[in-house]
Amino acid sequence: MIEHHLEIPTEAGDMNTFITHPDEGGPFPVVLFYMDAPGKREELHDMARRIATTGYVVVLPNLYYRKTQEFVWDQSDSAMKAMFEMTKHLTLECIMDDTRALLEFVDDFPVAEGSRVGAVGYCMSGPFVFKAAGRFPKRIACAASIYGANLLTQRPDSPHLDAHKIRGEMYFACAEIDHYAPKDVIDNLEAHLATCDINYRLEWYPGAEHGFAFPGRGKIFHKASAERHWQRLHSLFDRNLKRA
């Protein structure tokens, strides 16, 4: 495997990014990996590596680059407060600008097959990939929101309002125990998706809590659900991004 730590230019400055891919056999389809609120860190690097080893260029940007090159979250109360403060500047339009920059980057990255792009986002970035799939329907062939929060809101930029524009396949993994994405909101989302004539799957993870996919979350980590989410991700990417 080959790893890079690269600065990707955007209109707001240079976005530091972790990129990994196999060392031979390319060019490879692309997976954009959007971080959760605790930020780009080694735990996510490992998850990116797990995807890349199956034949992808995985691009994991630091979405906090406008404020800092590195955000350290240690699960303390003070770090939690700082984390929520850090998220406040991440509007959906900012993230769409960043996504455009990522797509421009992979178009010129030698080992990337930029015509085949998937995306995955966890927690705060669930709505990012949902929005991106509707904003860039000709580019995003598939996207997965893993216990995404704010997928359906009352704001005029809510991601669900663009769902009808999506051409690729969408997957939503929903934790049974999740105060960031409660069941009534997810039920309303599913009712809306059913009217949009798009290819999607929304799946509940019984007994799992918000954050279940991350080994570093202690008791919240739910191994069976985490492994199921990996199986779903690999299947989603393989059927949409790999050519026969």
Strands (E), the chain: 2-10, 13-21, 28-34, 57-61, 112-122, 140-146, 169-177, 200-209
Q: Are 211 and 123 in contact (CB under 8 A)?
A: yes
pLDDT value, residue 73: 66
Residue 244 has pLDDT above 70, yes or no: no
Number of domains, the chain: 1
| pLDDT band, residue 88 (cuts 50/70/90) | confident
Angle at 146 between CA 209 and CA 221, to 5 degrees: 35
Q: Are 194 and 172 in contact (CB under 8 A)?
A: no
Report pLDDT digits (tens) over 172-192. Answer: 999 999 999 999 999 999 999
Residue 41 has pLDDT above 80, yes or no: yes
CATH number where 70 lies: 3.40.50.1820
Range of the domain at 156: 2-241
Q: Locate 179 and state its tokens.
A: 């105060």
Residue found by looking up tokens 């240690």 in the block = 74
Question: Three-state SS string across 209-229, please?
Answer: ECCCCCHHHHHHCCHHHHHHH
